[in-house]
């Protein structure tokens, strides 16, 4: 299977990212419903392409899929990139508020790798920032990387946003983060991706332990 950083640009350039995005949301809804039936109604995050987000009927399509699938929008976090936040900013903010009115929360993925107008961040219905894994790769050894991580943590705290550190792969990274802001952490240090059925089995095992 090709990595997302290879097939997603192809899907975007061909326009296939829009139907793929609709399919991904339906799959995410189905996954949440399966988790709910198993007694683990956990919120799910879903990456949304800027191309998909800018479709004129994006909000209507999202609403239609949630109605069709019967999953609650309040249990979903849409992850968008910084690139989305610097083009057609007023329309972007308006559309984000429309989706937030449905109950959807927003996360800025790969934060720190692009250019965000920080003044506009305050106007957006954001829930969290995700520190890009490129900054975690050299943390805590590299002074510049740790300085960026600490700056993002401080800014997020000021704005009242949750923070997720991506790409946590070592105990040293987890320990450093635990001592500096204690954000949520995501990465191979905790687990690699797995099929939904295996996730449910592990949740059951943890519940019984």
* pLDDT mean over 7-20: 87
* pLDDT mean over 73-84: 91
Look at residue 82 in the predicted model and tell me its pLDDT: 79
d(CA 195, CA 26): 16
Pick 33 or 2 by higher pLDDT: 33
pLDDT of 68 > 90? The answer is yes
Look at residue 90 in the predicted model and tell me its pLDDT: 87
Residue of 168, 109, 113 lying closest to 139 (CA atoms): 168
- Strands 76-81 and 105-111, by their bridges, are parallel
Look at residue 81 in the predicted model and tell me its pLDDT: 85
- Looking at the domain 4-208, which fold is it? TIM Barrel (3.20.20)
Instruction: Using a cut of 0.95, tell me whether the model's pTM lies above it.
Output: no
* Average pLDDT value over all residues in the chain: 90
pLDDT of 1 > 60? The answer is no
In the chain the beta strands, taken as DSSP E runs, fall at 44-47, 76-81, 105-111, 126-131, 162-165, 184-185
Question: Cα angle at 3 between 45 and 201, to 5 degrees?
Answer: 50
Strand-pair partners of 78: 46, 106
Sheet holding 184-185, edge to edge: 44-47, 76-81, 105-111, 126-131, 162-165, 184-185
Look at residue 5 in the predicted model and tell me its pLDDT: 73
Look at residue 114 in the predicted model and tell me its pLDDT: 63
Look at residue 2 in the predicted model and tell me its pLDDT: 58
């Amino acid at each position: 299977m090709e990595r997302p950083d290879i097939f997603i640009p192809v899907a975007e350039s061909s326009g296939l990212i829009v139907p793929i995005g609709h399919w991904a949301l339906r799959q995410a809804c189905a996954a949440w419903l399966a988790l709910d039936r198993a007694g683990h109604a956990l919120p799910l995050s879903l990456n949304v392409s800027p191309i998909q987000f800018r479709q004129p009927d994006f909000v209507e399509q999202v609403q239609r899929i949630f109605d069709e699938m019967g999953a609650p929008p309040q249990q979903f976090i849409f992850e968008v990139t910084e690139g989305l936040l610097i083009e057609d900013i007023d329309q972007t903010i308006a559309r984000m508020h429309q989706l937030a009115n449905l109950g959807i929360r927003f996360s800025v993925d790969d934060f720190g790798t692009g250019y965000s107008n920080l003044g506009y961040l305050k106007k957006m219905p954001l829930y969290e920032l995700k520190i890009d894994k490129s900054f975690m790769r050299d943390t805590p050894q590299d002074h510049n990387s740790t300085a960026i991580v600490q700056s993002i943590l401080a800014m997020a705290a000021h704005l009242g946003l949750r923070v997720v550190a991506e790409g946590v792969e070592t105990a040293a990274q987890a320990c450093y983060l635990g001592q500096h802001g204690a954000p949520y952490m995501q990465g191979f240090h905790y687990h690699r991706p797995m099929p939904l059925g295996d996730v449910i089995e592990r949740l059951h095992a943890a519940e019984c332990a």
